[in-house]
Amino acid sequence: MSRAEPQTKKSKMASSLEQLKQITTIVADTGDFEAMKTYKPTDATTNPSLILSAAGMDQYQHLIDKAIKHGQKAGSTVDEKVSEAADMLFVLFGCEILKLVPGRVSTEIDARLSFNKEASIAKALKLIALYEEQGIQRDRVLIKLASTWEGIQAASVLEKEHNIHCNLTLLFSFAQAVACAEAGVTLISPFVGRILDWYVANTDQKTFEPVADPGVVSVTKIYNYYKKFGYKTVVMGASFRNVGEIMALAGCDLLTISPKLLGDLEQSTEPVKRYLDEELAKATKLEKIAMDEATFRWMLNEDQMSTDKLSDGIRKFAADGRKLETMLRGLIQAAK
């Protein structure tokens, strides 16, 4: 009997994913509903690339059909119909996701509006109105905007004047993070893996230990700064390349993780150690930065990695947005 006890204990050992959930809110970075059912995250994030991928799956055809019908009814010209259908498709995916997660869904503003504050505000208000028409309250939705100066200022207006919570994405630099905190946004999504990608491609060092990973170092500094100076904005690490990066950010407010890496964490029983801690953050030697538009633009300009990755990310999301519109345009024209 005593021999069987260690085996029983081993079989009941919590997975790395379950351990991580005890200290960090886990978010599914996917548009795939089945992955959400499997890994039971608290929240979910979407973007044009994820929606484009999911839209090609047969099981989501009914959502596309519904979006097309909405576009045909709401728009006058073909371009208007496509735009209306695209907005509705994002909202319909979000509504389905909210049936599976207890928390919030992030829905992204068209990347082509990244440098247009007023148009970003208008699009956000429209998306929230569509959600509310579907019976979803705005506190369950995060509006995702690119962390350009204009995107951050749009988020400030949405948060303060409309009580719309925002998730600032494509965040690669400390300047972007400070500007977001000063603007009072709800949440930021610093991109860990894409920072690593840049360093691997542009420096002589090709491998990094998890705690020395440039993306991990960046997010750790941002987290510590926020906690030290009492900002309410929370940090959600995103865009991971491996489990090591995730484990090295254990304790972060939230982590949004792809289904593949969620699966790897589920299969692992490696002990999870807390690396990010609010009390330890308050003891760090960080100086507070006074941020305005000129300072933001200069600091971003001086950071080649962040400048490269921000512009590249906007271009890629915009390209996938156009691909999604092309698909919807074909369906709308075929339905005439």
Q: Is residue 95 part of a domain?
A: yes
- What per-residue confidence (pLDDT) applies to 49? 84
- What per-residue confidence (pLDDT) applies to 154? 98
Query: Is 144 known to be catalytic?
Result: yes
Q: Is residue 4 part of a domain?
A: no
CATH number at residue 231: 3.20.20.70
Least confident of 3-12, 64-73, 293-302, 305-314: 3-12
Q: Is residue 135 part of a domain?
A: yes
Residues 237 and 251: beta-carbon distance below 8 Å: no
First to last CA, the chain: 72
pLDDT band at 45 (very low <50, low <70, confident <90, very high): confident
Residue 126 structural domain: 16-335
Measure the CA–CA gap between 232 and 60, rounded to whole angstroms: 36
Q: Is residue 213 part of a domain?
A: yes
- What per-residue confidence (pLDDT) applies to 32? 86
- pLDDT, one tens digit per residue, over 77-126 is 999 999 999 999 999 999 999 999 999 999 999 999 999 999 999 999 99
Per-residue three-class SS string for 132-181? HHCCCCHHHEEEEEECCHHHHHHHHHHHHHHCCCEEEEEECCHHHHHHHH
Say if residue 211's pLDDT is above 90: yes
Catalytic residue among 21, 81, 144, 228: 144
Residue 29 C-alpha from the chain's centroid: 7
Q: Is 0.85 surpassed by the pTM of this model?
A: yes
Measure the CA–CA gap between 294 and 148, rounded to whole angstroms: 13
Give 27's strand partners. 43, 256
Number of independent structural domains in the chain: 1
pLDDT band at 8 (very low <50, low <70, confident <90, very high): very low
